[in-house]
Amino acid sequence: MSLGQLARGADNQAHVIGALILRELHTRYGRDNIGYLWMIAEPALLAVAVAALHSGGGVSPHGGGVAPVPLALVGYCVFMIFRSVVTRAETALEANKPLLFHRSVTIFDLLASRAVLEALSTTATLAILLSGAWSLGLAAPPARPLHLMAALGAMTWLSFGISMLVCAATYDNRLVAKFVHPATYILMPISGAFFVLDWIPPPYRDWLALSPINQIFELAHTGQFASVDSPYVHGEQIVGWCLAFTLAGLLALRVLRRHVHLN
């Protein structure tokens, strides 16, 4: 395949994913009430509620100059990307199966469009909420914006890889589907969304540091807080985990496609 053919293929794929994002927006939010603004309002309401619960104190009692409101906003919004992308994967195929009659639409496109939509809406929500908290004196601007953006991108990539596995595993197995939502709720308190690994005593800290999700949250905290410079962020490990889940997910979708029958 020549470079030109590869570029045209990527362009066509981008157009398909863009069209699916617009369709998903219309299907999910419609044009009633505030319409597409629900894309930002919905996660914002949840994130504000979580931040309000953590706003009782000033700087964290664990030290490090980590204020509770930005910690809650960053933690919950980044985790929301993971939870939304992974949990919505179990219904992505069943809800959009007729679209597979179009030869240019694949299961990969269905999942990718949802992942991109969740990442964009949650990133916009986080930017708005952090700006609001900054204007109220509850948060400072991100100390290292590129680190924070890298964390958002890494969480989206990791979640997308896992979502392909979830889609393949739950398509014909409703028992597996019932464990997806509880698993994300169990994961939240140990994911690192609401704590910095330096606050955790050994050996639990060393165990948690092996998780790519905890490393991504450490990267997010490094991006938001000037006082946090986590030694537990290993870029090559994060990329390795993302690549591994993506390759496993692509293989799973390849197997799944043979079992999807269009009527």
Mean pLDDT to the nearest integer, 51-69: 67
Q: pLDDT for 67-81, tens place per residue?
A: 888 999 999 999 999
Residues listed for the chain: 263
| The pLDDT of residue 159 is above 90 | yes
| The pLDDT of residue 126 is above 60 | yes
Q: What is the pLDDT of residue 62?
A: 52
- Rounded Cα gap, residues 87 and 91, in angstroms: 8
Which residue, among 41, 182, 17, 42, has the nearest Cα to 114 in the 3D structure?
17
Q: What is the pLDDT of residue 55?
A: 66
| The pLDDT of residue 108 is above 90 | yes
- Rounded Cα gap, residues 115 and 83, in angstroms: 11
- Provide the whole-model pTM: 0.89
